[in-house]
Amino acid sequence: MRTALNSHMKRLFALLGLILLSASLGSCGASKPKPPPPPLHSGPVRTSNNTAYRTPALHGPVPRNPDMSLPADFAKGPRLSFSRVAVNDKYIAITFDDGPQPQNTPRLLDMLRARNIKATFYMVGSNVDLYPQVVRRVVAEGHEVGNHSYTHRLFSKMSDSDIRQELARTRDAIVRAAGVQPHTLRPPFGGMLPRQREWVNTEFGYPIILWSVDPFDWRRPGPSVVCARILSSTTAGSIVLAHDIHRQTVDAMPATLDGLLQRGFKFVTVSQLLAMQAEKATAHTAVGLPIP
């Protein structure tokens, strides 16, 4: 009798142990950490360089620059540098620095072609070597290419020999890429000593091209601000500065170019603008008037 009772008690305690073990395992499972909640934002994160702005679609015909056959040969004169040119009509030159850039520059070229506008591109030689196919398209579509140094360093802090190398490397890169010679120079940051301007003009034949309209687009203020600054500051003979390496600048161009055309401005290259200055100087000299 006692043996049967002991056996029964052992089975009861074993069953109780299994119940307690099962409860314990269930409690451990319940205490596992929950998976982290999903992120609050889905999709790619937008940065300041990846704005949602897109070039507005064109509705109807865009204004077109008139067809013009103008000389681009300018004579050397007493002026070594130009920020604007005295002209007899509403001619302007729009310039784009620091390219070529493989996405922005072709998009800009599409906009210029749609409006029959010829621009001047001041190219950095290292970018010319990286994207020669873009340089070839620039030249094939009738735009002018100028020298903007090879590494975009401040000339006023450099030796003559270093400047000479920068200009020669960029000139050679442009010739390799597109078979044309640059005829004008824009120094990086516009910084160049008077003595440097003199010997560069003598040795390379380059006039130094600065600007009279600067939208400070390199600060990336937004397309509408770039557009407003250019429209409010441009007058006859202006040389407009912009940068095709910045997407916001290219985004600003349709409204900017259309606004300038609607105000009666006519776009020419920098060399064509300089040739107008030479023609005007010759005309004044012929009638004995002072040259402005």
Report the distance separating Cα 121 and Cα 98, nearest Å: 8
Query: Cβ–Cβ contacts within 10 Å for residue 107, how many?
Result: 15
Contact between 274 and 82 (Cβ < 8 Å): yes
Enumerate the H helices of 79-183 as residue ranges: 104-114, 125-130, 132-140, 160-178
Whether 41 sits among the annotated catalytic residues: the reply is no
How is residue 292 written in tokens? 């402005």
Report the distance separating Cα 191 and Cα 81, nearest Å: 12
Whether 243 sits among the annotated catalytic residues: the reply is yes
Report the distance separating Cα 275 and Cα 72, nearest Å: 6
Q: Which residues contact 226 (CB under 8 A, 6 or more apart)?
A: 215, 217, 242, 248, 249, 252, 256
Q: Name the catalytic one among 97, 217, 244, 251.
A: 97
Contact between 81 and 207 (Cβ < 8 Å): yes
Q: Name the catalytic one among 143, 148, 183, 243.
A: 243
Query: Cβ–Cβ contacts within 10 Å for residue 77, how many?
Result: 12
Which phi-psi region, left, alpha or beta, contains residue 181 (left: φ > 0; alpha: ψ -120 to 50)?
Answer: beta
What residues act catalytically?
A: 97, 243
